[in-house]
Every structure is written in C-alpha cells, then in structure tokens.
C-alpha cells in the first residue's frame, strides 16, 4: 500500500524544528529531520571536551506561556531541565532583574531538552541541506554531504535562522526569501574559560552594562554540572558585530582583558565561539509562516521574540497551521 500519511521534511533540529516535528508526528505525520551539526539543539547548545562542558549559546530560559509551561514540566519530569537560581549581579549601572524571574536550564547540559525531543524523531545529523526543488511527486532535498536525496516529501519545514532560510528560499520563493532576509540577526562572540580552582566572586552570573561584555556566568553553578570549573563570557551584539571578522586570538585577548578588569583571574584554558546569528534584532509579528499552495513552512525564534520559549512556540504554531489546512492522516 502506498504511504498515505503526510510526509514532512524538517530542516533544522533546534528547538523550533523539534517542537514542530514532534507536534506533527503526534498528529500522525511522517517526520524526517535534517540537521547540519553533529547533534540536535542548535543555539540551545553545550560545548563538550576533555573534562569540561559549557553552555555557550542560550544561558537559561524563562516561561510565560501556559503551553510552554506544560512542556517544561514534562522536561523536568524527564530530568532534562531544572530551575537555576544564580546569585545575580549587575555591573556598570542598572538594576538586577527581579528575583521573581524563574530561570530554567537543561540538565545536565543546556542541549538536554533538545536531545530528549529528538529521541522520538528520525533525526539525520551531519546533513546540510543546500537546495530544495519541487518535482511532480513532491519536494526533493539536496545536501552537501549526500547530494540529491531520493525521498519525496509532501511538505518542507524550514526551522533555521532567517538568513539561512532566505538562502534556501531565494531561487524558489524570492518574496518570502526577501522577507526572511529583512530580519536582522545579531552576532555574539562567546568565550568559555576553564579554571583549576573554583572562582566565586560573590555572584554566579552578572549582567554587564559597560565595555565589550554583556553577560558573564559561572557555568559550574548550574544544576547537575560536572567537570572543571567553567565560566562563560558573552560580548555585546554591538561589540561582536564590530569584531565579527576578527581573528579569534585577538578576540580572546580583548575579552579576557575586559574580564580581568572585572577582577576575573587568568584561566587555564580558553575556547572561543563566533555566533553569526545569535539573536533576532526585532521579532516578526507572525509566530510562524505556512504557505499552503507550495506546502512550505517557516518557524524559529526570529518569528517570535528571539528566545528559547519563542522558538518552541513558533514550532507549535507552525504545526497548528499545517494541520488546520492539511490533516496528517487521510
Ligand atoms: C549566545 C546566545 C545566547 C542566548 N541566550 C539566550 C538566553 O539566555 N535565553 C533564551 O531564551 N534564549 C537565548 N538565546 C536564543 C536561543 O538560543 C534561541 O532563541 C533558540 O535556541 C533558537 O532556536 P531555533 O530552533 O529557532 O534556532 P536554532 O537553535 O538556531 O536551530 C536551527 C538549527 O538549524 C540547523 N541548520 C541551519 N541551516 C541548516 C541547513 N542548511 N541544513 C540543516 N540544518 C541546518 C542549525 O545547525 C541549528 O541546529 C541565545 C542565543 C545565543 C546564540
């Protein structure tokens, strides 16, 4: 018997793609996710190496929406998320966020909720989709690693940052590509520092309102963390944009200098990460885009408000739009 379920390809295994994929799969769709990195998580990610780990993308997430609250409760029950109660400081003027803000993190690392969501899906990691084309039997994808894929899909979900969606859409849907390209995504230079001894300056994390740094945090203070003492430093979007093409050796020198001025000790080891598309500059007014005529959808934090919660909600919103127009099961 021929397959009668709606066959959907999801490009991107960040929280938006995983949320959309899980909701569509629960409704009966056949889902295949393609992810260019080695594993799922996207910007909700953790760098791991010999004896240390560090959340170098999203630092924590907050919960406002009731559907996301229920999802986070499922993550907590599964042991992949927990509240983090850092002692916060504000350096360089301004006030600390009110203590009533509940901050969650993935446990034992930020990528854990994504890995948990991906567990129930067919996710192909290490596959970079670089072209999509429509043929009589449906959508076909091409990847850098595997060339033109044989499988045909009824629908394609693009769950990647706006500029990356624009590249894939440009030859097919130039207007949608142009709209995606209009969403500015701000960069972030990030350093991960390892220390032989715990460094406890009297706070676990600080918002910085002066100089190149905007956020520093003791990653080791998050629940369930093991391994070396680790701190993360994130530069401001403005500073990162001005230094985006700089050599990482220079970036390390400049950001370590800023950390030293805050009283930070010299680390034993430093790793840098350049996020070209860290956060959406201004959120779009639409939570998700579904083009029923061509069966192509877009979701991601850039269509919501630029945070983890927005990414998950955008995936949910896209799944609802797809199902409203095209039931998964005949
Ligand atoms: C430095 C930094 C700090 C942050 N801090 C916070 C914070 O404290 N709190 C908060 O709520 N949010 C924070 N965020 C934002 C948060 O991480 C994002 O909102 C959220 O993770 C975005 O999820 P997403 O699924 O929309 O996109 P992504 O996580 O970017 O997922 C997109 C996925 O698509 C993959 N991909 C891209 N192109 C292709 C392709 N051609 N083929 C296959 N796969 C592809 C990527 O590898 C990626 O895995 C931060 C982000 C950064 C970078």
Q: Answer yes or no: is 210 within a domain.
A: no
| Distance from the alpha carbon of residue 121 to the mean position of ligand 1, in angstroms | 19
Helix (H) or strand (E) holding 8: strand 7-11
Q: If you average pLDDT over every residue of the chain, what do you get?
A: 94
The values of phi and psi at residue 128, to 5°, are -100, 110
Q: Would the pLDDT of 330 be above 60?
A: no
pLDDT at 4: 72
Instruction: Report helix, strand or coil for 68.
Output: helix
Q: Answer yes or no: is 24 within a domain.
A: yes
Q: Answer yes or no: is 211 within a domain.
A: no
Give residues (CB < 6 A) around ligand 1: 11-17, 34-37, 42-44, 57-61, 128-129, 159-161, 164, 188, 190, 234, 275, 278-279, 300-301, 306-308, 311
Where does the pLDDT of residue 285 fall: very low under 50, low under 70, confident under 90, or very high at 90 and above?
Answer: confident
Q: What is the pTM of this model?
A: 0.95
Q: Answer yes or no: is 103 within a domain.
A: no
Neighbours of 158 (CB within 10 A): 28
pLDDT at 117: 98
Residue 305 belongs to domain spanning: 7-47+115-183+282-325
**The total number of structural domains that make up the chain:** 1
Q: Is the peptide bond before 108 cis (omega within 30 degrees of 0)?
A: yes
Q: Per-residue pLDDT tens for 77-97?
A: 999 999 999 999 999 876 655
CB neighbour list of residue 285: distance below 8 Å, 6 or more residues apart: none
CA-275 nearest atom, ligand 1: 53
Read off the tokens for 324. Answer: 């409203």
Q: Per-residue pLDDT tens for 15-73?
A: 999 999 999 999 999 999 999 999 999 999 999 998 999 999 999 999 999 999 999 99
Lowest-confidence region among 156-165, 169-178, 192-201: 169-178
Mode of pairing for the β-strands spanning 229-235 and 88-91: unpaired
Q: Answer yes or no: is 41 within a domain.
A: yes
Average pLDDT over residues 220-228: 95
Average pLDDT over residues 114-139: 96
Q: Answer yes or no: is 206 within a domain.
A: no
Nearest Cα neighbor of 243 from 262, 257, 230, 232 is 257
214 or 328, greater pLDDT: 214
| Distance from the alpha carbon of residue 10 to the mean position of ligand 1, in angstroms | 15
Query: Which of 13, 14, 317 best tests ligand 1's pocket when mutated (most atoms within 8 Å of CB)?
Result: 14
Q: Would the pLDDT of 2 be above 60?
A: no
Burial (CB count within 10 angstroms: exposed 0-12, middle 13-18, buried 19+), residue 265:
middle
SS3 of 22-37: the string is: HHHHHCCCEEEEEECC
Where does the pLDDT of residue 100 fall: very low under 50, low under 70, confident under 90, or very high at 90 and above?
Answer: confident
Distance in Å from the first CA to the final CA of the chain = 14
Rg (CA), the chain: 20
Q: Answer yes or no: is 23 within a domain.
A: yes
330 or 312, greater pLDDT: 312
Neighbours of 93 (CB within 10 A): 8
Read off the CATH number of the domain in which 172 is found: 3.50.50.60
Q: Answer yes or no: is 252 within a domain.
A: no
pLDDT at 43: 98
Where does the pLDDT of residue 184 fall: very low under 50, low under 70, confident under 90, or very high at 90 and above?
Answer: confident
- Give Cα 100 distance to the centre of its chain: 25
Read off the tokens for 150. Answer: 């044989």
Q: Per-residue pLDDT tens for 231-279?
A: 999 999 999 999 999 999 999 999 999 999 999 999 999 999 999 999 9
Distances (CA, A) of 97 to 79, 89, 130, 200, 262: 27, 9, 41, 21, 20
In the chain, the percentage of residues whose pLDDT exceeds 70 is 96
Q: Would the pLDDT of 133 be above 80?
A: yes
């Amino acid at each position: 018997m021929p397959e009668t379920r709606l066959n959907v390809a999801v490009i991107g295994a960040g929280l938006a793609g995983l949320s959309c994929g899980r909701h569509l799969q629960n409704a009966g769709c056949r889902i295949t996710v393609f992810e260019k990195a080695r594993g799922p998580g996207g910007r909700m990610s953790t760098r791991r190496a010999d004896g240390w780990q560090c959340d170098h993308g999203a630092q924590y997430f907050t919960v406002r929406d009731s559907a996301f609250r229920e999802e986070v409760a499922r993550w907590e029950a599964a042991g992949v998320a927990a509240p983090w109660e850092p002692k916060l400081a504000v350096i360089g003027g301004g006030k600390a966020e009110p203590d009533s803000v509940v901050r969650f993190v993935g446990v034992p690392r930020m990528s854990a909720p994504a890995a948990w969501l991906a567990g129930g899906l067919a996710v192909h990691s290490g596959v970079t989709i670089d072209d999509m084309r429509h043929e009589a039997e449906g959508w076909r994808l091409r990847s850098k690693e595997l060339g033109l894929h044989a499988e045909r899909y009824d629908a394609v979900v693009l769950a990647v940052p706006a500029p990356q969606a624009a590249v894939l859409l440009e030859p097919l849907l130039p207007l949608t590509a142009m709209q995606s390209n209009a969403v500015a995504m701000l960069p972030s230079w990030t350093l991960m520092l390892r220390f032989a001894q715990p460094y406890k300056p009297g706070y676990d994390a600080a918002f910085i309102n002066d100089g190149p740094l905007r956020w520093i945090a003791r990653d080791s203070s998050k629940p369930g963390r093991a391994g070396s003492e680790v701190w993360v430093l994130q530069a401001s979007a403005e500073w990162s944009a001005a230094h985006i093409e700089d050599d990482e050796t220079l970036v390390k020198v400049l950001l370590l200098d800023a950390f030293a001025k805050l009283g930070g000790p010299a680390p034993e080891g430093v790793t840098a990460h350049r996020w070209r598309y860290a956060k959406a500059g201004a959120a779009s007014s639409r939570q998700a885009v579904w083009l029923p005529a061509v069966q192509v959808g877009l979701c991601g934090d850039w269509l919501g408000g630029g945070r983890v919660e927005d990414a998950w909600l955008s995936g949910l919103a896209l799944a609802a739009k797809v199902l409203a127009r095209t039931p998964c099961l005949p």
